[in-house]
Amino acid sequence: MSQQLSSKPFYDEKIEGTIIPLPLIKDCYAVFACRHKFCREVCPVYQDDRDESHTSYGFHTALLGISQGMGELADIRETITNCLECGACELRCPNTLFGGDFYGASTTTVDLVRKVRRDLVASEIGFEKYEEIVATVDRYIAYFEGPEGDLTKWADGLNLATSGETMLFVDYFNAFETTDIPRNAAKILTAAGVDFGILPRPGATLGELLDVNLETFVEMGRHNVAALEQAGAKRVIIINPHDYTYFTRDYTTHIGELPFEVVFITDVLEELTNNGQIVFGEATASEVFSKVSYHDPCTLNKICGITESPRSIIGKLPGVTYIDVTPVEQWSYCCGKGNASFKTLHPDTSYKIGAKRLQAAADLGVSQLVLACPHCKDQLTDVGARSGVAIEPVHILTLVAQAMGLD
Amino acid sequence: MAVEVAEALEAAIGELRTALGTEYVMTDFHQRAIRTTNTSPMGLHQWKDLLPDVVVMPASTAQVAAVVKIANKFLIPITPRGAGAGLADGATPMKRGIIVDIKRMCDILEIDDEDMTVTVQPGINMQELNKVLRPLNVWFPDDPASYPVNVLGGRIGAGGWSLLGTGYGHVPDLVCSMEVVTPTGDIIRVGAGGGRKIRKSSVGYRLKDLFIGHQGTLGICTEVTLDLAPRPQAQLPVFFATRSWEDAHRMTLAFNRSGIRCLSGVVMFDEAKVEFLRRDDEAWIPLPEWVNSAVATICYGTSVELEAVKSSIFDIGAANGGVYMGQEISEGDWASRHDRYHLAYHGRSDGTIRLMSWSCEDAAITWSQLPTVKRRWYEIAEALVAKHPEHFDIWGMFMYTGNPFRPWGDFLTEIDIGVNELEMTPEIWADWVEAKTQIARVSVECGGSVSAAHGGTREGEVDVACYEELKDGQFDLMKRIKKMLDPNNIMNPGKYHLDEAYEDEETA
């Protein structure tokens, strides 16, 4: 069965050497012809290195240049790695802003970058540090084939069901690297009276697969959809915003309409606080003076448009003074880890982007930066330790659990 | 490429890598291709011929000087490049060579909110600069359509024009002094005073002006001290609809004569522009059918000032056939002025959609000549579209006040034409160039200038600029200055027909 690689069917057609399919030429030209380069200014990578070839304008122009006989696909194997896949350029592109709906031609740089990386792999050219990405993928995929209990070890002692109309989907990164996040999610939902289950053997949800191996990504996706459906899911709660993009955008593109509703955890928590199922206690003395800001994960803010529920929840936390930076202003922010492979590909740039983000929070005079993404948490914790910027990255579920007295 | 040229280039690239580091000397095709273009149409059939040989990204004045000296040593052309947001091909290399991309030089060196200056490197963007200045309640009031993406070096090289120039001055009015690397690699400072911050002095020649608007032919700005302004407390955009362009034209004269000092800009939209926005811009709020043209006024100042002039603005508009478009469209359209000036997807008047790039003529025309220029420009543009309906489309005209600090006299007069670059042929391109020549000639015949904002360097208009507008000795003097400062014709050769300065010598 032919698989649609993005919302633009012509992305299916592989680039071979110097041959660019005509619809893709037009797609690239639409960005090139704009030439305003708003995409450049909003790009966190460009803000660091000031090299416009590492932008949406750069990638589209490079492919257009290939179509005009100036080079071939192999020539861009290094430059195409310089993308966080954060989606800021797509939002800032006039084609999306003012023509996307009208002409049905929004700019889709993230899909394009993934497609080009995959085409490079399929052409046996690969790209810089490709082997490291594959090694990461292999390491995580091994979990799928490992002992069943390993994938749910994070939930030890919580006595969670393995079926139900509401299912909590926990990805491998949360399950193995940031176990406090799924544990807090489970405790909060349980305390709020939500009946839910978890999959005993979820499939891998790795952004890296979209860069190098779409077939395995889709295969794992089909496993997840089938397993959730079999478990009786009518509603699936996601706690990793990267997964939210895979379920709502990539699974629907590559697999089809999902047989259940998919919701992000902060939207669920907002519902539960609004209807009284979650009640926060009084602020303790140490919490009264807590001054925080919120970092919009790229996946939620720029790709899925979920920006209100985290702010709503933070606003209800007792003893917290909240300093907002608007979602639009945060289009040019990123924690630096990127949507998938970027930190592995460019660790120095990743660190500098992260340090800049932390410093922006420090400039607000806050003591904590609230996060809703395990990858942002991991990255900014690491960056904070290395840079010495005295801001504590804290996951929103940690604060909610504390406010509910669930420690 | 001849063997000796190739060897010189290879040797030069080696020295550039030593001077700047390998990472910042780039020869990949895509690095060169992306730095060939600017915002004006080129026709993809020309692209390959305009590729530079190498791109460098210096980080300091010393590195820029080193690059220029290496270029002189090996006689390799240099084209300075800022944001690539220009509309006159200034940053497009005509003789290959080295592109000097200045965007890494983006530091703010000093903010002085007492003497009201800021000193920056040329690669900084105005929007980013103003974010830093905001807490001090000052701003750098250069406000082109490319405000979010342009950089100071490019603005200076093009002698840029600002939407708010009528209130706050244009780029040439906002530069106090500059550090420049000359075409021979010397580092000089131009501007008045023993420091960097004097705006008005009568000592010596006004050499600063020589290094503004030269399109990269006389040097590379590496540091600039700019004039700041107090951040305005308030703004008052008021848009009027009119039943005819003649009403709009008459209304602008009334505003010009009003004596309102906080009037920072007046813009006319003609009937074709209103029609274009109706059919093509989904963000443009629908207007009643009777609306033919429009006038936008913008006042910046203190809240008290704006409150006091508000009634005068509305009275002048109404007395001249204007109907206020309302707060939503006035404030909304003004707020989105930097975002909307071009989209590649365009609906044409026949309902088809075709990918087109945007060409923008930008003559400086006096108010009295606007009706004549408008009529004659449309005759030229309509003939072009009639001959090549698949390749060109008329997108209407804007006329903006252009006189710095005063709303009367000059108008930046713009006719926008869609250009189908993807399907361009050399033959159709030749007809396009001829149309541009005719448009430029009308401007000069009507007493105006070929360009108020972008520069007169593009194919088509450059002949008119050099041989007609600057014919009374100015072009000859430009050539002598160019040759004196750039004896090897290193700096952006091919622009403004300045190569003739060197041909004269060869002939002699």
Among A70, A89, A122, give the residue marking a domain's end. Answer: A122
Report the chain A residue with the minimal C-alpha distance to residue B38: A35
Would you say residue A46 lies in a domain? Answer: yes
Sign, CA torsion A296/A297/A302/A306? negative
- Alpha-carbon distance B90 to A374, whole Å? 47
Q: How many domains does chain A have?
A: 3
pLDDT at A2 over 90: no
pLDDT for A288: 53
CATH top-level class of B108-230: alpha beta
Q: What is the dihedral of CA B56, B57, B59, B64, to 10 degrees?
A: 40
My answer on whether A22 and A114 are in the same domain is: yes
* B33: chain A residues, CB-CB within 8 Å: 61-62, 65, 70-71
From chain A, pick out residues whose CB is under 8 angstroms from the CB of B344. Answer: 29-31, 33-34, 95, 99
Cα three-residue angle A144-A300-A189, rounded to 5 degrees: 65
Instruction: Note the pLDDT of residue B42.
Output: 86
Provide the CATH number for the domain around residue A24: 1.10.1060
Does the residue A28 lie in any domain? yes
For A297-306, give one letter per residue: b (16+ CB within 10 A) or e. Answer: bbbbbbbbeb
Is A71 close to B31, i.e. CB distance below 8 A? no
Cβ contact B355–A71 (<8 Å): no
Residues A304, A261 share a domain: no
A47/chain B closest Cα distance in angstroms:
10
DSSP class of residue B92?
A: S
Would the CB atoms of B344 and A33 count as touching at under 8 Å? yes
CATH 3.30.43.10 residue ranges of chain B are 3-101
Copy the structure tokens of residue A219.
């295969």
Question: How far is A298 from A207, CA to CA, in rounded Å?
Answer: 13
Tokens at residue A385, please?
A: 């330790």
Residue A3's pLDDT is 34
- Same structural domain for residues A257 and A323? no
Query: Nearest chain A Cα to B49, which residue?
Result: A70
Nearest to B345 among A53, A76, A105 (CB): A105
Helix (H) or strand (E) holding B49: none
Q: Residues A166-203: pLDDT tens digits?
A: 999 999 999 999 999 999 999 999 999 999 999 999 99
- Fold exhibited by the domain B234-457: Vanillyl-alcohol Oxidase; Chain A, domain 3 (3.40.462)
The answer to whether the CB atoms of B39 and A35 lie below 8 A apart is yes
How far, in Å, CA of B133 to CA of B140, rounded? Answer: 8
Inter-chain touch B34–A98, beta carbons under 8 Å: no
State mean pLDDT over B340-357: 76
Residue B401, token pair as written in the block: 């006040």
Q: Are residues A297 and A341 in the same domain?
A: yes
Q: In 3-state terms, what secondary structure has residue B414?
A: strand
Say whether A35 and B127 touch across the interface (CB within 8 A).
no
Please tell me whether residue A365 adopts helix, strand or coil conformation.
coil
A-chain CB neighbours of B340 within 8 Å are 94, 98
CB contact under 8 A, B44 and A95: no
Under an 8 A CB cutoff, do B345 and A70 touch? Answer: no
Q: Which pLDDT score is estimated for A5?
A: 35
Q: What's the confidence (pLDDT) of residue A17?
A: 82
The verdict on a CB contact (< 8 Å) between A29 and B355 is: yes
If you search the block for the tokens 């990918």, which residue do you land on? B355
Domain with CATH 3.30.465.10 in chain B: 108-230
* B453 close to B160: Cβ distance less than 8 angstroms: yes
pLDDT at B225 over 50: yes
> What integer is the mean pLDDT of B295-303?
97
Question: Token pair for residue A349?
Answer: 């740039």
Chain B residue at shortest CA distance from A104? B345
- Average pLDDT of chain B, as a whole number: 94
Test mutation, A32, A68, A331, chain B, max B CBs within 10 A: A32
Identify the pLDDT of residue B409: 96
Which residue in chain B is spatially nearest to A30 when comparing CA positions? B344
Provide the angle, in degrees to the nearest 10, between the axes of the packed helices B426-445 and B370-387.
170
Say yes or no to pLDDT of B424 above 80. yes
**Contacts B83 to A, Cβ<8 Å:** 37
Find the mean pLDDT for residues A34-38: 86
Interface test with A, best of B51, B104, B345 (most A CBs within 10 A): B345
Q: Are strands B175-181 and B187-191 parallel, antiparallel or unpaired?
A: antiparallel
pLDDT for the residue A371: 97
For B2, residues 6+ apart whose C-beta sits below 8 A from its C-beta are none
What beta strand segments (E) does B76-205 contain? 78-81, 98-101, 108-112, 117-120, 138-139, 175-181, 187-191
**Candidate from A9-13, A202-206, A227-231 with smallest mean pLDDT:** A9-13
Nearest-Cα distance to chain A for B48, in Å, is 7
Q: Does A39 fall in a domain?
A: yes
Residue B242 tokens, joined = 């009119």
Nearest chain A residue (CA) to B356: A33
Average pLDDT over residues B43-56: 93
Q: Which domain holds residue A200?
A: 130-274
Q: What is the mean pLDDT of residues B136-158?
A: 96
What does the pLDDT read at residue B345? 81
Contact (CB<8Å) A35/B37: yes
- In angstroms, the CA B120 to CA B445 distance is 40
The answer to which of A313-327, A384-398, B107-121, B270-284 has the lowest mean pLDDT is B270-284
CA separation for the pair A54, B453 (Å, rounded):
29
Asked if A79 lies within 8 A of B281 by C-beta distance, the reply is no
> Å from A71 to nearest chain B CA?
6
Quote the CA–CA distance of A193 and A190 in Å, as a whole number. 5
Three-class SS of residue B161?
Answer: coil
Q: Which of B134, B61, B57 is nearest to B99 (CA)?
A: B57
Do A268 and A148 share a structural domain? yes
Token couple for B244:
């005819």
> In whole angstroms, how large is the CA radius of gyration of chain B?
23
At residue B338, the pLDDT reads: 83
CA pair distance A159, A373, nearest whole angstrom: 25
The single residue listed with the structure tokens 């600069």 is B129
**Residue A136 and residue A231 in one domain:** yes
Domain assignment present for residue A2? The answer is no
Gap from A172 CA to chain B (nearest CA, Å): 37
| Cβ within 8 Å, pair A25-B146 | no
Could you tell me if A259 and A291 lie in one domain?
A: no
Domain membership flag for residue A367:
yes
A3 occurs within a structural domain:
no
Interchain proximity A69–B48, CB inside 8 Å: yes
A122-167: per-residue pLDDT in tens?
A: 999 999 899 999 999 999 999 999 988 999 999 999 999 999 999 9
Of residues B30, B21, B25, the one with CA closest to residue B9:
B25
The 3-state DSSP class for residue A367 equals coil
Residues A324 and A352 in one domain: yes
Tell me the backbone φ, ψ of residue B373, rounded to 5 degrees: -60, -45
Which residues, in sequence order, are CB contacts of B133 under 8 Å at separation 6+?
B111, B118, B139, B140, B228, B231
Q: Which whole number is the average pLDDT over B127-155?
A: 96
pLDDT at B507: 55
pLDDT of residue A96: 86
Q: Tell me the average pLDDT across A18-31.
A: 93
pLDDT value at position B341? 62
CA distance B147 to chain A (A): 10
B3-101, what's its fold? 3.30.43
Q: A264 Cβ partners below 8 Å, 6+ apart?
A: A237, A238, A239, A241, A244, A300, A304, A306, A309
Element (H, E) at A340: none
Over range A34-55, report the average pLDDT.
Answer: 94
Residue A336 lies in a domain: yes
Could you report the per-residue pLDDT of B479-508, keeping only the tens digit for each? 999 999 999 999 999 999 999 999 866 555
Q: What is the CATH number of the domain that holds A387?
A: 3.40.50.1860
Question: Which of B39, B149, B356 comes nearest A38 by C-beta?
Answer: B149
| Whether residues A354 and A233 fall in one domain | no
Q: Which residues of B touch A (CB under 8 A)?
A: 28-31, 33-35, 37-39, 44, 47-48, 51, 57, 83-85, 103-104, 106, 123, 125, 127-128, 146, 148-149, 281-283, 339-345, 353, 355-358, 421-422
Q: What is the DSSP string of B244-271?
A: SHHHHHHHHHHHHTS--TTEEEEEEE-H
Quick one: pLDDT at residue A4? 34
Q: Would you say B188 and B230 are in contact if contact means Cβ atoms under 8 Å apart?
A: no
For A285-298, the pLDDT digits (tens) are 555 568 999 999 99
- Give domain status of residue A252, yes or no: yes
Burial class (CB in 10 A: 0-12, 13-18, 19+), A153: exposed
Which residues in chain B are classed under CATH 3.40.462.40?
Answer: 234-457
Residue A15 is encoded by which pair of tokens?
Answer: 């680039």
Q: Would you place residue A94 in the very low, low, confident or very high pLDDT band (cuts 50, 70, 90)?
A: confident
